[in-house]
Amino acid sequence: MRLIQNMTTIAEYAAPECSVPNRVIKIAVIGGSGVGKTALVVRFLTRRFIGDYERNAGNLYSREVQVDGEQVTIQVQDTPGVEMTDNSINLPDHVTCSIQWADAVVLVYSTTDRRSFDLIEQLHQQIVRTGGASMPPVILLANKADLLHLRCVDPQQGPVLAAALGCSFYEVSASEDYSQVHKAFHRLCCQLAKQQPPAPAPPANSAEKRRSPLIPRPKSPNMQDLKRRFKQALSAKVRTATSV
Ligand SMILES: Nc1nc2c(ncn2[C@@H]2O[C@H](COP(=O)(O)OP(=O)(O)OP(=O)(O)O)[C@@H](O)[C@H]2O)c(=O)[nH]1
């Protein structure tokens, strides 16, 4: 629990409040239990791999990153592991809500867990059903590539499944290889940033805009103005005096 709290703090610290809102990219990470969802999210956002995590109840992480030269806020929703029972999946409400909320979905299985691989097709169907016409982009990650001796999903099976589902595929290791994890998430962020319109530009001078009343404030007279008015008044007085 302590670890999770610390990491949430890191995430909150990494996304301070800012007067000009960034563009926000929302990603949901979904997959079977123990496939390394939390490890991948934390690795991407903090570069660190921490071996032991609490069973995940669904933490939201947030961080500001540069995507194609633009500062964007990435929100990553880690979700509870999905279980398979009697060939059907038991999808927690949290997972369904996360799919609805997300701009993109990262599907994860572990190369050491055949059941987690078998889940992927059904999870993808669920995304298609939930997304409807606005189906979010999906990428497929095969995690724990470092555990070669425990592998039980063939290296070719991941790319074949990804091609059938129409999504990009990455074989990664949250524990051993930051660069591949970063590449997968970063490419997805770039794809989303291209699809979404940029955040509206702030007014040229927002403080001035806030101050400006409905009726324009009269300009304060400058010295030349005052002299001119003084001369006008003086000559009017002289005219009145000579005419009396
Ligand atoms: N060797 C190795 N272990 C990993 C890797 N990724 C995660 N693990 C380990 O796998 C275990 C489960 O990782 P988590 O990140 O908690 O997995 P999860 O999918 O979030 O788990 P749930 O929240 O229970 O569904 C932990 O002991 C991690 O240290 C990896 O790439 N390689």
Atom of ligand 1 minimally distant from the CA of 32: 25
- Confidence category of residue 241, pLDDT binned at 50, 70, 90: low
- Vertex 126: Cα angle to 123 and 130 (nearest 5): 145
Query: Above pLDDT 70, what percent of the chain?
Result: 71
Q: Phi, psi (5° rounding) for residue 75?
A: -110, 125
Kindly tell me if the per-residue pLDDT of 11 is higher than 80.
no
Kindly tell me if the per-residue pLDDT of 225 is higher than 60.
no
Regarding whether 159 and 221 lie in a shared domain, the answer is: no
* pTM greater than 0.90: no
Regarding whether 229 and 124 lie in a shared domain, the answer is: no
Kindly tell me if the per-residue pLDDT of 8 is higher than 70.
no
Question: Three-state SS for 58?
Answer: coil
User: Which residue's alpha carbon is nearest to atom 30 within ligand 1?
Assistant: 144
Among 16-20, 46-50, 209-213, 234-238, the range scoring the smallest mean pLDDT is 209-213
pLDDT at 204: 58
pLDDT averaged over the chain?
80
Q: pLDDT by residue (tens digit) across 133-155?
A: 889 999 999 999 999 999 999 99
Regarding whether 179 and 82 lie in a shared domain, the answer is: yes
Q: How many domains does the chain have?
A: 2
pLDDT at 178: 97
Residue 13 Cα, ligand 1 centroid: separation in angstroms? Answer: 24
136 lies in a domain? yes
Confirm if 81 and 30 have CB atoms less than 8 A apart: no
Q: What number is the average pLDDT over the span 1-24?
A: 50
pLDDT at 210: 41
206 lies in a domain? no
Q: How far apart are CA 61 and CA 76, in angstroms?
A: 5
Nearest to 113 by CA among 136, 139, 81: 81
72 lies in a domain? yes
Regarding whether 224 and 141 lie in a shared domain, the answer is: no
Q: What number is the average pLDDT over the span 221-226?
A: 47
Q: pLDDT by residue (tens digit) across 48-101?
A: 998 887 776 789 999 998 888 889 999 999 999 998 887 788 888 889 999 999
Regarding whether 128 and 81 lie in a shared domain, the answer is: yes
Which amino acids bring their CB within 6 angstroms of ligand 1? Answer: 33-39, 51-53, 55-56, 80-81, 143-144, 146-147, 173-175
User: Which residue's alpha carbon is nearest to atom 7 within ligand 1?
Assistant: 36
203 lies in a domain? no
Contacts of 137 (CB under 8 A, 6+ apart): 103, 104, 105, 167, 188, 191, 192, 195
Regarding whether 183 and 226 lie in a shared domain, the answer is: no
205 lies in a domain? no
Regarding whether 236 and 119 lie in a shared domain, the answer is: no
Q: How far apart are CA 37 and CA 148, in angstroms?
A: 19
202 lies in a domain? no
Residue 137 Cα, ligand 1 centroid: separation in angstroms? Answer: 24
CATH number at residue 18: 3.40.50.300
Regarding whether 234 and 128 lie in a shared domain, the answer is: no
Q: What number is the average pLDDT over the span 21-33?
A: 92
Residue 35 Cα, ligand 1 centroid: separation in angstroms? Answer: 5
Regarding whether 226 and 187 lie in a shared domain, the answer is: no
Kindly tell me if the per-residue pLDDT of 18 is higher than 50.
no
- Confidence category of residue 220, pLDDT binned at 50, 70, 90: very low
Atom of ligand 1 minimally distant from the CA of 53: 16
Regarding whether 143 and 239 lie in a shared domain, the answer is: no
Q: What number is the average pLDDT over the span 114-122?
A: 96
- By residue range, what is the domain housing residue 221? 212-243
Contacts of 55 (CB under 8 A, 6+ apart): 80, 81
200 lies in a domain? no
**DSSP-derived secondary structure letter, 152:** -
Regarding whether 217 and 185 lie in a shared domain, the answer is: no
Q: What number is the average pLDDT over the span 6-24?
A: 53
**Of the residues 29, 30, 38, 95, which should be mutated to test ligand 1's pocket, given the most ligand atoms within 8 Å of the CB?**
38
207 lies in a domain? no
Q: What number is the average pLDDT over the span 126-134?
A: 88
Kindly tell me if the per-residue pLDDT of 113 is higher than 70.
yes
pLDDT at 243: 53
Regarding whether 177 and 111 lie in a shared domain, the answer is: yes
User: Which residue's alpha carbon is nearest to atom 8 within ligand 1?
Assistant: 36
The residue ranges of DSSP E strands in the chain, in sequence order, are 23-31, 60-67, 70-78, 83-85, 88-90, 104-110, 138-143, 168-171
